[in-house]
Chain A
Amino acid sequence: MAEFILDVNGAQLHVNAPADESLLSVLRNRLNLTGTKYGCGEGQCGACTVLLDGRATRSCLVAVSSAVNTKIFTIEGLEQNGKLSAVQQAFLDEGAFQCGYCTPGMILSATSLLHRTHNPTEEQIVEAMNGNLCRCGTYPRIVAAVKRAARLMPAKGASR
């Protein structure tokens, strides 16, 4: 056990954990940030996706010790002053979920994609999101939501 200071959703959080515990486990089980989901623990499903310095990252594959000194954003951190992010709003508007368990990971993967590529083509969306599984099969709506978010997003300064 060691103490780590994590920068999560803009707050400095102190946590005691073994250095090799996954960031996913720390977020869910020690910091009670349960919006980030466990789907496989093996980097295969994307349910655990968070942003590390703006990049979509599988938190199940990241040791907590290596998440220190990065800016971590989870699904809980996207809403600002009661306003959903463009990607969140687009998922809601398209009804791009069924059980919704994949949704946080999907939204963060899409956020990361739109951060890098402002107006992604369908192929770019599929490529960027292909590591995220939706067992309910809502892929077509998710693609539509990502396209809608691209339209909703301000051209510059889309920081999250």
Chain B
Amino acid sequence: MSLRDQSMLEFVRDSAGEASRSVQLDRRDFLKVLGGGLLVCLTHSTARTQESGRIFGGHELPKDVSAWLHIAADGQVNVFTGKVEVGQNIRTSLAQQVAEELRVPFASITMVMGDTDLTPWDMGTFGSRTTPTMGPQLRAVAAAARETLVQMAAQRWQVDAATLTAADGKVTDPKKARSFTYGELTRGQKLVKLISGEERLTPATEWKIAGTAVPKVNGRDFVTGAHKYPSDMVLPEMRFGAVLRPEGFNATLASLDTSAAEALNGVQVVRDGDFIGVVALDAYTAQHALSAIQAQWNVPAQPSNEGLYEYLKNSPETGDDGGPQHVTGSVAQAMASADLKLENQYTVAYIAHAPLEPRAAVATWADGRLTVWTGTQRPFGVRDELMQEFRLSAAQVRVIQPDMGSGYGGKHTGEAAIEAARLSKAVGKPVKVVWTRQEEFTWAYFRPAGLIEIKAGIKRDGTVVAWEHHNYNSGPADIGTPYAVANQLIQYHPANSPLRQGSYRGLAATANNFARESHMDELAHAAGMDPLEFRLKNIADLRLRAVVQAAQDKFGWGRMKSSPERGFGIACGTDKGGYVATCAEVQIDPASRKVRIRRIVEAWESGAIVNPDGLRNQVMGAIVQSIGGALFEQILFANGRILNPHFAQYRLPRFSDTPQIEVVLLDRKDLPSAGAGETGIIGLAPAVANAIFAATGTRLRSMPMTPVHNGQEKSSVQFQS
């Protein structure tokens, strides 16, 4: 298995792994999913499409056009997909692609998303998979529908279909100057047509709707407050629930007294094993009742963030095969003959997703059927969790995902959905559960912490000849070097994490790229070469070279030399089909060692651009978000407790932390579109660390760069906002 496959494996493992008690996919199933399943959407060969019945752990992607798309008599088009909108703008970009292939005005498309009753099964929205997989899938569906509509018109007119054209929601017979609207052809009936996989898709060079900056479809609802997020859902007779949390992880209940809570007006206490929750007529009383419960917990001693990295290195996941390993040539021999050798350790702390909308769900039971509105990136995964938890069949559970207050990989699981469903079942009314910020910081899961060790050797001319990279716990995503290095040994070492960990925007690509690009920078300086020239010397991949050069041009790299007050740094990388190069300028006060990021230039390429405005927004957002993990975000914990579960203690990037940002987009209309929600996050941390080194000679090898140890910020610099 190649390293790329491994990193794709990781996103499935991360996500489904969280829900492994309910989603019964083992590693081999994941491989099947990845080896065959997703390819069905990517490929256009009939043979592959026909395999689809055996994949997705029994979930077959429907081949009927009507499962994906419906054209009403008035020409309105409903498109069905299990993907979900979390701010990454796929509600718009997918609609653009359908409008393009179907040849209808953009405004006639409505995307129906993330509803397990209405949409085809979907694994989930993560891993930057929507654009490269769901995009082509829906394009094929729309093209098949268009072909069918042309056939229908040809039949009605008794002419050769090849003489007809489809455009603007109509099939036209140019010879006779007559036309049918799509609605007249379907009369609202289902289109009977199977996707063959042979559909001719419109090349990006001919796109008229896709490829343009269509504004967010329902943008107006977001500026008026009309959009209903999961936490905004209200049902008649709805009650408010809250759940009692243990004092720490792995705690056991020692004693419980709920009498004071039960005495409150309208309050019901629900106990089911170790689950203790309350239901009240209003949210205020629910919280009040929760705090009236007297509970004592025994919390076992557990590791803390002090000494974490040694712990991770010394706690291999038991029974694991040691993780993926990639070997080419001989690192040992190449190191022996290298002119210059360098070895270093890099660390990355646990961080939180901190979506501004915490987990939320509204559940209701009627006639033995459970319906839950919840914020999740995996509505079908949450349905599976609910089926398992309440012993229901798929037909008895419906999960609906209203466009939510984002997730960044943090909402793959269904905790709030299960809690709301349990409480609702107990009291016989619809129940809403909204996690508090503290709950979200404590009882969700984290981006894995990790230790990365790199050893490398170069020749006098700057050629990297040996590269050894070990990642303990943080993950295998993007662990392989994009540089042309003859001798490599690359290994991911899964560890027993003291904290619950899972998926995160970009996964371990951020950590691996930080370590790799910092190390490349160290090598460049050690060799006395310009860091950008050093990189170009070792890059064979033309797409990577192109983004480095685009960033170089825009930034004006080399025009100014770093000084003690001002540093310039560069980093680049590629993951999940996206190519990125980031240049950073930092300003430093040499007396106080206060650092400020002044300017970021990021060049980005991910194939043909579907929506340049949405893409720019994603790349810019990824850059801003990455400031936190790079400079100051860090979960502090001890003995099963999170020590900084509030925004006042866990610093997120704010307006004042945001530098001048310039995003350069390269549009490769000759290449398939890749996802772009994640990889933009990997460039900033190493670029900033490299810029700080260029100015000060101080090398920061940890993320965040201002780590806290023993309650003290332990860093030679301070980041100013």
Interface residues of A (CB under 8 A from B): 17-18, 21, 25, 28-30, 32-42, 44-45, 47, 74-76, 78-79, 84, 88-89, 91-92, 95, 97-104, 107, 125-127, 129-130, 132-143
Residues from chain A with Cβ under 8 Å of B222 in the complex: 97, 100, 103
Q: How far is the CA of A25 from the CA of B285 in the complex (A)?
A: 11
Interface of A is mostly: loop
- Check A126 against B656 for contact (C-beta < 8 Å): yes
B253-261, B573-581, B621-629 - interface stretch: B621-629
Q: How far is the CA of A21 from the CA of B288 in the complex (A)?
A: 10
- Check B224 against A88 for contact (C-beta < 8 Å): yes
- Check B620 against A140 for contact (C-beta < 8 Å): yes
Residues from chain B with Cβ under 8 Å of A42 in the complex: 437, 646-648
Residues from chain B with Cβ under 8 Å of A47 in the complex: 356
Cross-interface CB contact of A137 among B89, B437, B624, B646, cutoff 8 Å: B624
B232 at interface by CB-CB < 8 Å: yes
Cross-interface CB contact of B224 among A35, A40, A140, cutoff 8 Å: A35
- Check B661 against A140 for contact (C-beta < 8 Å): yes
Q: Given A21-B284, A30-B282, A41 and B437 touching (CB < 8 A)? A: yes
Interface residues on B, range: 35 or more
Residues from chain B with Cβ under 8 Å of A139 in the complex: 624, 653-655, 658
B162 at interface by CB-CB < 8 Å: no
B225 at interface by CB-CB < 8 Å: yes
B147 at interface by CB-CB < 8 Å: no
Q: How far is the CA of A134 from the CA of B664 in the complex (A)?
A: 23
- Check B652 against A135 for contact (C-beta < 8 Å): yes
B283 at interface by CB-CB < 8 Å: yes
- Check A45 against B240 for contact (C-beta < 8 Å): no
Residues from chain A with Cβ under 8 Å of B648 in the complex: 42, 44
* Chain B, range 335-384, C-beta contacts under 8 Å to A: 354-358
Q: Given A29-B282, A39-B437, A136 and B223 touching (CB < 8 A)? A: no
Interface of B is mostly: loop
- 14 contacting pairs across A/B (C-beta < 8 A): A28-B283, A29-B282, A38-B358, A45-B356, A45-B437, A79-B224, A84-B223, A95-B216, A101-B406, A107-B223, A135-B408, A135-B625, A138-B624, A139-B658
Residues from chain B with Cβ under 8 Å of A98 in the complex: 87-89, 406, 617-618, 621
Residues from chain A with Cβ under 8 Å of B357 in the complex: 37, 39, 99, 101
* Chain B, range 399-415, C-beta contacts under 8 Å to A: 403-406, 408
Q: How far is the CA of A85 from the CA of B131 in the complex (A)?
A: 34
How many Å from the CB of A71 to the closest CB on chain B?
A: 18
Q: Given A91-B223, A99-B357, A133-B652, A40 and B647 touching (CB < 8 A)? A: yes
Q: How far is the CA of A139 from the CA of B356 in the complex (A)?
A: 14
Q: Given A44-B646, A100-B87, A137-B620, A39 and B240 touching (CB < 8 A)? A: no
- Check A37 against B356 for contact (C-beta < 8 Å): yes
Closest 10 CB pairs of A and B: A35-B225, A137-B624, A99-B87, A101-B405, A100-B222, A75-B225, A98-B87, A44-B647, A34-B232, A137-B621
Chain B residue, CB-CB nearest to A75? B225
Q: Given A34-B234, A101-B357, A137 and B623 touching (CB < 8 A)? A: yes
How many Å from the CB of A79 to the closest CB on chain B?
A: 5
Write out, one digit per residue, whether chain B residues 250-291 have a CB within 8 A of any chain A CB (1) or not (0).
000000000000000000000000000000001110000000
- Check B225 against A36 for contact (C-beta < 8 Å): yes
Cross-interface CB contact of A135 among B354, B434, B618, cutoff 8 Å: B354
Q: How far is the CA of A129 from the CA of B654 in the complex (A)?
A: 9
- Check B625 against A136 for contact (C-beta < 8 Å): yes
How many Å from the CB of B225 to the closest CB on chain A?
A: 2
- Check A25 against B437 for contact (C-beta < 8 Å): no
- Check A38 against B225 for contact (C-beta < 8 Å): no
- Check A99 against B216 for contact (C-beta < 8 Å): no
Chain A residue, CB-CB nearest to B403? A99
Cross-interface CB contact of A134 among B89, B220, B356, B646, cutoff 8 Å: B356
How many Å from the CB of B79 to the closest CB on chain A?
A: 21
Write out, one digit per residue, whether chain B residues 83-94 have a CB within 8 A of any chain A CB (1) or not (0).
000111100000
B220, B356, B358, B621: most-surrounded residue (chain A CB, <10 A): B356
Known: A101-B404, A103-B222. 9 other contacts (CB 8 A): A37-B229, A84-B220, A98-B88, A99-B357, A99-B406, A102-B356, A130-B656, A136-B87, A139-B658
Residues from chain B with Cβ under 8 Å of A45 in the complex: 356, 437, 647
- Check B284 against A18 for contact (C-beta < 8 Å): yes
Q: Given A75-B224, A99-B87, A136 and B229 touching (CB < 8 A)? A: no
Residues from chain A with Cβ under 8 Å of B620 in the complex: 137-138, 140-141
Cross-interface CB contact of B436 among A30, A41, A101, A141, cutoff 8 Å: A41
